[in-house]
Amino acid sequence: MRAMVMERIGGPLAVREVPDPVPPAGGVVVEVRATGLCRSDWHAWAGHDDITLPHVPGHELAGVITATGAGVANWSAGDRVTVPFVQGCGQCAWCRSGNAQVCPDQRQAGFTHWGSFAALVALHAADVNLVAIPAGVPFAAAASLGCRFATAYRALTGRARLAAGEWLTVVGAGGVGLSSVMIAKALGARVIAVDRNPGPLDLARALGADHALLSGDREIPGQVHEITGGGSHVAIDAAGSEQTCADSILSLRRRGRHVQVGLLPPIGGHPRVPMARVIGWELDLLGSHGMAAADYPGLLALIEAGRLSPQDLIERVISLEEAAALLPVFDQASPAGLTIIDPRES
C-alpha cells in the first residue's frame, strides 16, 4: 500500500510502498477514505511524542472495513466506520465504564502504531472503539470527528458542562477551536473567539461567534471581561502555549471553568500557569483528552438533527504527497478550516 513514511524525527517525509497491515485479534483493517491533517501530527513529527521509527502518522480517519480479526463480534467487511483518536483496550475498568479515552493501555493510531496517512490502517479492540458513520455523513466530515469535533464536544459537555446562555471564550481558532465555536452555538452558548490571524477569526464569525478578538491588538483577558461583564463562564485553550493557556484562565469570571485541550510543549521545564488567580477566584482547571466511542451518540445526534455540520469546516482536500510537504510546516500554517487527506488521490 502507499503511505507517508517518517524515517527520522523532524526529517523529510516520503510517500512510498509499504506492506499492507493485517487485522490484529479483536481488531480490523480499514481502507482510509479520508484522514485529517492535525497539529497533533506535527507534534509527533517534531519529536514531542514517543514514537518508533520508521513511522506512519495520522490519527483522524474514516473509511470502510476490509478485514476483521479473530473475536470481532459487531463489525464486518464493508461497514463505514470512524474511530476516536484514543482507542481503549476494551478490558480495563476505565473502558468498561465508558472512559476509554483515559485507558492506561490505550492505542493511538499515528502515535503508538502506524496511522492513517496510508491506504490502509489497522485498529485495535474494534467492538469498543469503532463508530458507525450514519448514511448522511460524508467520509471527510466523519474523519473530522475523531479528533477535533469529538475533542471539542467532550471538552465542552463532558468536562466543562457548558450550559445555554453561558459565555465561552475559545482561544485558538484552529480545528478544535472552530469546532468548539460550532458546538457551543449548537448548545445555545455565547462565544468569543480569539486568534492571532484574521482569517480564522473571519471564519469563526461566519460560524456564529458573537465576538472575535485578534490577539496582539490589545490584552485579551481585559477585552473578554469588558464584553461579558466580568469574564467568561468557560474558556478553552485550543491552541496550546504558555500565553494561550494564561489568556484562557485570566479571561474567566470568578468560579469559572478552564479546559486545557491544546498540547503544551515544555518551555524551560514546564509552562507557567497563573495559579494565584486560580486559587483566589476558585477556578476549575480541567484537562480533556479526546472522547470515547461511547460518547459519540450525543455528537452524532446534533449532526443528524442539522444543528451541527462538520463538513462546513473543511477548507481543502489534498493528496498524501501534498500532505508530506505541508506537515513539517503545519505549526506555521494558519488554514481557516480543516485540511483533509484523501489517500486515493495522487
Over residues 97-103, the mean pLDDT reads: 92
What is the model's pLDDT at position 335? 61
Under 8 Å between Cβ of 63 and 340: no
pLDDT digits (tens, 9 = 90+) for 208-239: 999 999 998 779 999 999 999 999 999 999 99
What is the model's pLDDT at position 322? 96
Going by pLDDT thresholds of 50, 70 and 90, the confidence category of residue 313 is confident
3-state helix, strand, coil in the chain (%, to 5): 30, 25, 40
How far is it, in rounded angstroms, from Cα 255 to Cα 278? 9
pLDDT digits (tens, 9 = 90+) for 166-222: 999 999 998 899 999 999 999 999 999 999 999 999 999 999 999 999 998 779 999
pLDDT digits (tens, 9 = 90+) for 235-291: 999 998 889 999 999 999 999 999 999 887 766 777 788 999 999 999 999 999 989
Where along the chain do the CATH 3.40.50.720 domains lie? 149-287
Where along the chain do the CATH 3.90.180.10 domains lie? 2-148+291-341
CATH number given to 149-287? 3.40.50.720
CATH number given to 2-148+291-341? 3.90.180.10
Q: Smallest Cα–Cα separation from 179: which of 202, 159, 208?
A: 208
What is the model's pLDDT at position 231? 98
Q: Tell me the C-alpha to C-alpha distance, in Å, between residue 306 and each of 161, 162, 299, 312.
A: 22, 20, 11, 12
How far is it, in rounded angstroms, from Cα 262 to Cα 250? 16
Q: How many whole angstroms from its chain centre is CA 144? A: 8
